[in-house]
Amino acid sequence: MLKKLFNLSRINYGESQKTSRGPMGFDEAKFLEAAREIGSLNLDGYEFFTESLKESVQCKIYRKYEEVSGLYEYKITGLLEDVGLDVCKNVYMDLEYRKKWDGYVKELYEFDDNGVKSIYWNVNYPWPMSNRDYIYTRELHEMEINSIPTVVVLAESNPVAKIPEKSGVVRVKEFHQSLVIQSDGKVGTKAFMHYFDNPGGSIPTWLINWAAKTGVPTFMNSMRDACLGYKKWISSKGT
């Protein structure tokens, strides 16, 4: 049932790169480009930022300074122990469940924007800062890399969507993310993420650095817990 909710296609790694676009407008080549980094991380221009090596969740964060925006974009590698690939995929894509386990979500829902499925996401920011909201599209592909099941999700802001800005909420207009998850085959699920957003407004640099250092490991811990509790949540819904 869950697979019917998502746009899934299987791609054999090693095929010639395609220039066709999926329903959400993402080039097929972008999925392959992201997938390659799960096994061969490209860190040209990046510096090591921080790491969190806990018993059940591990992650390393690298960053690259963007002169135009004055902000950093990030690459993150991680491991979620005792979490299967399919469960990890479904938890990440399930917006209703995200509202249950992610305390930073104020609003989160999917809507149709001229035939394109888009997502509205309102994020709680700590007082006295204003909340941020995102409007973006995302697309999921499944493929195999060296015969290893792999999932790639691309997401990008959609500033032309016809949802008016809300008073007291800052609209994030620059956002892109690629997520790659792959079965580890032994202890859990490996993850790679390439991420950038421009939160807009006036946020101190120290606060952005603190959020990057603490927010990513915290999110991964929360997501692992959510994965471990997903079967129970699905059962409680009777689906």
Q: Which of 212, 183, 149, 175 is nearest to 79 (CA)?
A: 183
Q: Where are the domains of the chain?
A: 49-233
Residue in the structure block whose two tokens are 């590698």: 77
How far is 235 from 97, CA to CA, in rounded Å?
A: 12
Contact criterion met (CB below 8 Å) for 182 and 148: yes
If one counts every other C-beta atom within 10 angstroms of the C-beta of residue 6, the result is 18
Contact criterion met (CB below 8 Å) for 95 and 111: no
Q: Beta-strand (E) ranges in 25-100? A: 47-53, 57-66, 71-81
| Residue 226: per-residue pLDDT | 95
- Integer angstrom CA distances of residue 34 from 5, 40, 143, 181, 190: 23, 10, 12, 10, 14
Mean pLDDT, 10 residues at a time, the chain of 239 residues? 32 36 73 92 94 85 91 93 94 96 95 87 88 95 91 91 89 94 86 92 77 84 94 85
49-233: CATH architecture: 2-Layer Sandwich (3.30)
| Residue 42: per-residue pLDDT | 95
Q: What is the pTM of this model?
A: 0.85
Contact criterion met (CB below 8 Å) for 43 and 25: no
